[in-house]
Amino acid sequence: MALRLGDVAPNFSATTTEGTIDFHGWLGNSWGVLFSHPADYTPVCTTELGTVARIKGEFEKRNVKVIAVSVDPLESHHGWIKDINETQVCTMNFPVIADPNRQVAMAYDMIHPNVDDKATVRSVFVIGPDKKVKLTLTYPASTGRNFLEILRVIDSLQLTANHKVATPADWKHGQDCIVSPAVSDPDADKLFPKGVRRVKPYLRYTPQPNL
């Protein structure tokens, strides 16, 4: 069955380009991004892994570990990484799981047989320090992901985990937030001393509280 938000991210032991890992142990107290790509030595995937390698510092700043997976074997990953470094002007700096037996792909429902019964789709799982799934995304093989969007979502997930706010459409770090509907008006004034702008009783904005 598909994984849902709030489910515990399945643990696994796997061989990666940076050694064997126990997934939950490898995550430790960090947030995590686990993302699949359909196959090694393919053009869109090459650009995606290069992009993540170049912006890995942005994930680290947010206490997020990144890890990729495909159903190709380890030797294939190692050869492909040389091409990624060469063509994407980067140095690969995060592990890629070799999943030829598809244990990770199956546990995370990354194979969608009506599209392709062998390769994984482009899945993204953001996992919290409690090991629970906080976000899922599924893209087809033909469309590369926007990893700046994944960073933006992580900013929202981390903010809303600690403050009684939600983030509006297209929100970016630093912009006004929405006061959670569960917060009463009198409590909102106490909780958000920077001010509450009331547009409708259910639509109340406040400056980002953790800045």
Binding site residues, ligand BEZ, CB under 6 A: 38-39, 42-45, 141-142
Catalytic residue among 45, 90, 92, 104: 45
Whether 90 is a known active-site residue: answer no
Closest to 136 measured CA to CA, from 11, 49, 45, 34: 34
- Cβ 208 to ligand BEZ, closest distance in Å? 36
- Cβ 113 to ligand BEZ, closest distance in Å? 15
User: Judged by CB, which is closer to ligand BEZ: 67, or 177?
Assistant: 67
- Cβ 114 to ligand BEZ, closest distance in Å? 15
User: Judged by CB, which is closer to ligand BEZ: 39, or 157?
Assistant: 39
Torsion of CA 51, 56, 61, 67, to 10 degrees: 110
- Cβ 115 to ligand BEZ, closest distance in Å? 10
User: Judged by CB, which is closer to ligand BEZ: 37, or 65?
Assistant: 37
- Could you tell me the end-to-end alpha-carbon distance of the chain, in angstroms, rounded to an integer? 40
- Cβ 152 to ligand BEZ, closest distance in Å? 23
Catalytic residues: 45
